[in-house]
Amino acid sequence: MSLMRLAYASEATFHEKPAEHGVEPNVARILMMSRRNNAKNQIVGGLYYGNGYFFQYLEGEEKAVNELYERISRDDRHRNVTTLIQESLPERTFTNWSMKYVPLSSDVQRFLDKNSMESFNPLNFNRPLCEGMIGVIRDTSNEGRVIDHRQLASSRKARSSRTDPVSIGLAVAVLGLVGALVYASTMF
């Protein structure tokens, strides 16, 4: 029995609804079905959904993974399904997860920052970025670190338009110095 690994990216076609318990409802339905089917077929891996894109990693018996990927590719809940990695695998690396879900977590944000990415768009991830993302999925613990990318983007904008405390301090110091010089010039 030969094993294989597969990673792909795609673009969601549904209109995103507010998350329930940290998961978008369409994604929650996909996850429920995935966990049931994958456990039966001994397929393991992880799914990330963010910024309207999916990134999924699958490991398992070659025939089972290929059959599943064919089914997934036909699913109209996403489009532009782009294969990023498809190769044989000597041994399994995800032991416990039929389909691990990574919420919009600070780990993913750190991964984006480290790779100078403004937003998550996995469709043209190269090999190192794919391996990096698989690592994030493998290592992330799901507990209590859900963040909202849209909120994060607007708070970043707000932060960058705000004057930082060092600049304010410098401006006050310069004003103080000018005031002192003016005062001194009136004394002599």
Q: DSSP code of 136? A: H
Cα gap 37→28, rounded to integer Å: 14
99 binds ligand FAD (CB under 6 A): yes
Quick check: 37 binds ligand FAD (CB under 6 A)?
Answer: yes
* The token pair that represents 50 in the structure block: 């963010």
Q: Order of strands across the sheet with 44-50?
A: 78-89, 3-12, 53-61, 44-50, 100-102
* Cβ 37 vs Cβ 68: under 8 Å: yes
Closest to ligand FAD by CB, 56 vs 140, is: 56
* 174 touches ligand FAD (CB under 6 A): no
Strands 78-89 and 3-12: antiparallel
Other CB atoms within a 10 A radius of the CB of residue 95 amount to: 7
56 binds ligand FAD (CB under 6 A): yes
66 binds ligand FAD (CB under 6 A): no
Query: Residue 99 CB, nearest distance to ligand FAD (Å)?
Result: 5
Q: Which position among 4, 9, 30, 84 is part of the footprint of ligand FAD (CB under 6 A)? A: 30
Judged by CB under 6 A, the residue of 17, 39, 67, 71 near ligand FAD is: 71
Q: Is residue 47 a contact partner of residue 101, using CB atoms and an 8 Å limit?
A: yes
Candidate ranges 34-42, 133-141, 143-151, 176-184; the one touching ligand FAD (CB under 6 A)? 34-42
Half-sphere exposure of 182 (CA within 13 A, CB side): 6
Contact between 38 and ligand FAD by CB under 6 A: the answer reads yes
68 makes contact with ligand FAD (CB under 6 A): yes
Is 34 among the residues that bind ligand FAD (CB under 6 A)? yes
Using CB under 6 A, which residues numbered 111 to 170 contact ligand FAD? none
- Residues with Cβ within 8 Å of 106's Cβ and at least 6 positions away in sequence, in order, are 145, 147
Is 4 among the residues that bind ligand FAD (CB under 6 A)? Answer: no
Using CB under 6 A, list all residues that contact ligand FAD: 10, 29-30, 33-34, 37-38, 54, 56, 68, 71-72, 75-78, 99
